[in-house]
């Protein structure tokens, strides 16, 4: 996102992306103490703004991550955006691999993690989720939060996630409810911005095809304007 800790769960929504960029190693720039304080202040301001429109970001992220408990490592956060999910996981003591296709997003996520004092638990990597450079069956949890609606095609990503997910590992997918989308869009419009839904895919779309990729849906829930699906990788 273009602003650090912007106070809502849309991990990808304010990031300018160049889909043709050449991926390379990501080296974060260390923020100054002034930048960290600005990040914390901006977070508080954005949190209150979204609350006024009816969206409590803190309750939403807690609900989403709670849905995946108990959580085992290694943990992967795909499409990390501003790092909200990775930071929440790290706050709970987990070590997280955080990947995104945008170096701007990763820098924002890094500053947010530093501001939250959990950056030492998160490895930030400039990686396209459609081609994950990890061994098969490596991760015990893969999270994809508020990413789905941005994708033109989600099946290739789902296939790749299934490949790196360990037997009995968990996939956590979350995205806004229709009311949640309406709130986000109203807030962004009030600031002169737009909110794109990309391919417009939904949690229901994932639920319909999850079994084709070696996973079984174990939980569907919706609270705090977020829909959640948790699936388990079937052992072979």
Q: So what's the pLDDT on residue 236?
A: 60
**What is residue 195's predicted lDDT score, i.e. its pLDDT?**
76
Q: Is residue 205 part of a domain?
A: yes
- What domain range is 220 assigned to? 33-233
Tokens 């229901």 -> residue: 204
Domain contains 25: no
Lowest mean pLDDT among 43-57, 119-133, 184-198: 184-198
Q: Which of left, alpha, beta for 132 (phi over 0: left; psi -120 to 50: alpha)?
A: beta
Instruction: Give domain status of residue 165, yes or no.
Output: yes
CB 60 within 8 A of CB 136: no
CA distances from 154 to 17, 44, 150, 186, 217 (A): 17, 33, 9, 26, 17
Average pLDDT for 138-154: 95
CATH of residue 215: 3.40.50.150
- The pLDDT of residue 25: 74
Q: Is the pLDDT of residue 48 over 90?
A: yes
The pLDDT confidence band at residue 19, using thresholds 50, 70 and 90, is: very low
* Backbone angle region of 225, left / alpha / beta, with phi > 0 → left and psi within -120 to 50 → alpha: left
**Residue whose C-alpha is closest to residue 151's, from 57, 75, 79:** 79
Residue 224 counted as domain residue: yes
Percent share of the chain, pLDDT over 70:
89
Average pLDDT of 46-51? 94
Each residue of 20-44: pLDDT tens digit?
Answer: 334 557 899 999 999 999 999 998 9
Residue 36 tokens, joined: 């960290």
Considering the domain boundaries, does residue 161 fall inside one?
Answer: yes
Q: How many distinct structural domains can be found in the chain?
A: 1
Q: Encoding tokens for residue 16? A: 């300018």
């Amino acid at each position: 996102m273009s602003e650090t800790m912007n106070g809502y769960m849309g991990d990808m929504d304010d990031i300018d992306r160049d889909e043709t960029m050449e991926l390379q190693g990501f080296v974060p720039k260390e923020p100054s103490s002034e930048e960290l304080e600005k990040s914390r202040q901006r977070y508080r301001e954005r949190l209150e703004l979204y609350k006024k429109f009816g969206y409590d970001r803190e309750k939403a992220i807690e609900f989403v991550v709670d849905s995946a408990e108990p959580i085992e490592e290694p943990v992967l956060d795909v499409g990390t955006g501003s790092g909200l999910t990775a930071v929440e996981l790290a706050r709970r003591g987990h070590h997280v691999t955080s990947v995104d296709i945008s170096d701007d997003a990763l820098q924002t996520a890094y500053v947010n993690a530093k501001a939250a004092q959990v950056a030492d638990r998160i490895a930030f990597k400039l990686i396209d989720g459609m081609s994950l450079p990890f061994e098969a069956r490596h991760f015990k949890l893969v999270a994809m939060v508020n990413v789905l609606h941005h994708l033109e095609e989600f099946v290739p990503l789902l296939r790749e996630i299934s490949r790196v997910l360990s037997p009995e590992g968990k996939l956590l997918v979350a995205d806004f409810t229709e009311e949640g989308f309406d709130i986000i869009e109203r807030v962004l419009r009030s600031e002169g911005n737009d909110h794109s839904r990309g391919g417009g895919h939904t949690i229901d779309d994932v639920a319909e095809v999850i079994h084709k990729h070696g996973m079984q849906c174990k939980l569907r829930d919706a609270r705090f304007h977020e829909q959640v699906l948790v699936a388990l990788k079937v052992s072979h």
